[in-house]
Chain A
């Protein structure tokens, strides 16, 4: 079984400041890792994912996450945030079990970017 921990329920940050949203996971098997984002009044959207290969993955809007197997972490970072990044961010894992794509989510972190 897998589980995901997002310790920070809310992260307030000023515009153009750097941010890190923390994610730790627990699993007895190898996993795929994901960050999903939910903007206000919208559904969840995939932000980025780690399946294999390079442990550093990037999104098209400047976010990046690094898979750290020894620390079982997949923290999300952005060097300079914008007001438009205000959203709730969910870390998720799925086991490498066929193509079922069943995701286990964390509790989410609300990123509140202030001017």
Chain B
């Protein structure tokens, strides 16, 4: 069974450009999360989808960030225009709502974004 996959693994862009990160969750997982880690700091929650609906987007930094999950399968996170402080590793995670609340999230390897 394929795990959570993220693309690209690394992106280097200049300030002001646009970048779109993609996450494919584990098949059948209705919950999808985006997290971000800025160098040396904690992994911070960005938002949570249940199927195609945004359940919680309290962690989104500002309106330069747009997340979508059309059809409730894969998700994209667009940063437009990118700023220097957006650099970091963006993690995607997924889990299935059914059954007991186990607390386990399944993470992808992350997309490293470098804004110059």
Contacts and interface: CB of A to CB of B under 8 A. Distances in A.
Contacts of A45: 107
B4 A100 contact: no
Contacts of B45: 102-104
Given A43-B3, A43-B110, A44-B91, A103 B42 contact: no
Interface string B22-43: 0000000001010100001111
Interface in B94-113: 95, 97, 101-105, 107-110
Interface of B: 3-4, 31, 33, 35, 40-45, 48, 55-56, 91, 93, 95, 97, 101-105, 107-110
A46 interface: yes
Contacts, number: 64
Contact of B109 (A32, A41, A46, A94): A41
21 contacts: A4-B42, A43-B3, A43-B4, A43-B91, A44-B105, A45-B107, A46-B105, A49-B104, A90-B43, A94-B103, A100-B31, A101-B31, A101-B103, A101-B104, A101-B105, A102-B33, A102-B45, A102-B56, A103-B103, A106-B42, A107-B42
Contacts of A41: 109
A108 to B, nearest CB: 7
A59 interface: no
B33 to A, nearest CB: 7
A103 B3 contact: no
Contact of B48 (A32, A100, A107): A100
A108 B41 CA distance: 8
A51 interface: yes
Contacts of A105: 35, 42-44
A74 interface: no
Contact of A100 (B55, B91, B102, B104): B55
